[in-house]
Amino acid sequence: MTQKLKSHMALISVVLPVYNAVKFLRATLDGIARQQYPSIEVVIVDDGSTDASRDIYNQWIEENPGIQVTVIENALNLGVCNALRTACDCASGSYIAQIGHDDVWLPTHLESLAEALDSSKAVAAFGEVKYIDENDTQLDLKIFDHSLVRSNDRADLFARLFSGNMLCAPASLFRKEAFETRFWGLHNERLQDYQLWLSLLLVGKFTAVEEVTMLYRVHGSNLSAGNTLLLQSQFELFEVQQKILTSERLFDWLREIASDEMIFDNFINKLNQNIVKVANYYPPLQLNFLVFLERLQEEFPANWSVRRLRVNFLTRMGVMRKALLISKVDPSLGPCGKEGAPILVPANTRADNQSFQFLIETGWFTDGRGVDLVSRGISDFFFFVDEHDLESSLSHAQFYQAHEKRRVYVFSNQVDVTLGSVCRVPSEYRFIGHQELDKMLRWAEDARMLG
C-alpha cells in the first residue's frame, strides 16, 4: 500500500495494558504487527511489571520501526482500568482498539472492523472469536456472543446487557469521538469493559461482522475464581448499573424514543426482565432499578406501563404498602397480578368464600388454592380462616406454626381490620377498602420481617 493511500486512512490507536506478560506478550505483539490495516499506532502501558515484559516489547519495537509506539511505564501496579484510561488519554487515532497482553489478533482484525465502522453509523464494531489455551490449542468454548449484536437493535442490546456482559473487548473497535475516558469507570478491575459498552450504547448503535478476527486466550490467570473476586465483581456490577440507570444521557435517549409508546414500553419491560434475572442472584441490584423507576415516573407521569412496573417491582421486593399507595391514584393498577404478593391459603372449605375471592381479585394477594406448598418448598404463605374454625385449626401442626409466626388472617363479623396475634378481617368484603388493605399488607410485611 502506498504512503499516500495510507495517509488517507483513519488512524487506529491500539491500546495494550501489560503486566507480567512474559509468557504470551510476544504472540500478542506479533499479531499487531501482522495487521493488514496499515495506519496504526500502539500505546503500551506497562503497569509495574516485575518480569521481563519490558525486554520483550522493547525488542519488538526495534524489530518494527514502521509502527509508531508510545510506552508508558508505571512504577507501581495501578490496575488494568487505570492503564486503559492512561492509554486512551494518549491515543490520537480516530478509532481505538484494545487488546489484552495474552490475546492474538488475526491479520484482518482491524481492517474488517474499520470497514464495518466506515460503512455504518455504528460507534463500535465486533469480530467473532475463537478460544485457545495457554498452549495455543483451540478450545470448544463460547464465552462471548456477538450474534446478539447482529440480532438486536440498539435498545434491545442495551437492555440485554443488564443481564450480563456477552461482548469481548479485544474483539472490538470503537470511535474515539464517541468515547470519554470516564466510560471505563474508576478502578473497575473486573467490569471496566461492561461500563464501556453501556456508555457507548447511550451514544450510538453497535455492529458486528461474522468473520473470526481474533483468538481469545483462556488460562488460569484470567479465569475468575474465589469469593474475593466474586465480591468485587458484584460491587462493580452494582456501581456500574447505578451510574448508567441514573445518567442524564440515558434519560435523554428515553425522551427521544418516548414518542413511540410501543418502542418505549418494550424497552423498559425488557430492561426489567433482564435486571430481575440477575437480581435473583444478587438482590441489591433491585435498589438501583427502583430508583430508576421512580425517576422514570417523574419524567413520564402519564405512562401506564411505568406505573405498573413500579408497583409490581415494589411488590416483588416486599414493599407492598408503598405499591398500594401508588395504585390509589390509578385503580387499574390494583387487579394486575404481582410477583411477591402474599400467598393466601384457605384453611378449609368455609374459608374459601367471597371475602377470600375478593382479596385475590384485588391483586394484592395470590391464590394459594391447589398449590402444593410442601413439594415446592414454599414457606412464605398465609392462612385464611373463619373465626369459628380458628381454635380447631390450631391442632394442625402447619397451621399452628403459621399462627406462631403471625401468618394467619381471620375473617370475622367486625367492620374493620384489627391486628393482634392474628389479623382479623371483615367477613363482608364491602368493608375492605384501601385503609383495610394497608393494614393487611402491613401485617404481611411485619410477618416476613420475622421470617
Written as one string, the DSSP assignment of 209-270 is: EEEEEEEEE--GGGS--SHHHHHHHHHHHHHHHHHHHT-HHHHHHHHHHTTSHHHHHHHHHH
For the record, the C-alpha cell of 5 comes out as 493511500
- Which CATH number does the domain 3-227 belong to among 3.40.50.720, 3.40.50.970, 3.90.550.10, 2.30.30.110? 3.90.550.10
* Domain ranges for the chain: 3-227, 246-333, 343-450
Averages of pLDDT over each 10 residues, the chain, 451 residues: 56 98 97 98 97 98 97 93 94 97 98 97 98 95 96 96 95 97 80 92 98 94 59 87 96 95 95 92 91 95 91 90 87 72 90 86 90 85 94 94 95 89 90 92 92 74
CA distance 64 to 416: 85
For residue 412, CA distances in Å to 407, 428, 431 come to 16, 8, 12
How many C-beta atoms surround the C-beta of residue 376 within 10 A?
Answer: 8
pLDDT for the residue 226:
54
Identify whether the C-beta of residue 149 lies closer than 8 Å to the C-beta of residue 167: yes
CA distance 367 to 357: 8
Identify whether the C-beta of residue 359 lies closer than 8 Å to the C-beta of residue 365: yes
Identify whether the C-beta of residue 370 lies closer than 8 Å to the C-beta of residue 354: no
The C-alpha cell 475464581 sits at 225
pLDDT for the residue 221:
65
Bridge partner list, 71: 44
Q: What is the DSSP letter of 203?
A: T
Q: Which of 47, 46, 66, 68 lies closest to 57, judged by CA? A: 46
Amino acid residing at 15 = V
3-state secondary structure 127-143: EEEEEECCCCCEECCCC
For residue 182, CA distances in Å to 14, 168, 201, 319 come to 18, 19, 14, 35
pLDDT for the residue 137:
96
Number of residues that make up the chain: 451
pLDDT for the residue 169:
96
CA distance 95 to 114: 8
pLDDT for the residue 188:
66
Amino acid residing at 243 = K
18-32 burial: b if 16+ Cβ within 10 Å, else e: bbbbebbbebbbebb
CA distance 434 to 241: 35
pLDDT for the residue 415:
87
Q: Which of 72, 65, 125, 51 lies closest to 95, judged by CA? A: 125
Q: State the DSSP H helix or E strand holding residue 120, giving kind and residue range, or none if neither.
A: none
CA distance 341 to 316: 7
Global pTM reads 0.88
64-95 burial: b if 16+ Cβ within 10 Å, else e: eeebebeebebeeebbbbbbbbbbbeebebbb
Q: Which of 60, 85, 57 lies closest to 71, judged by CA? A: 57
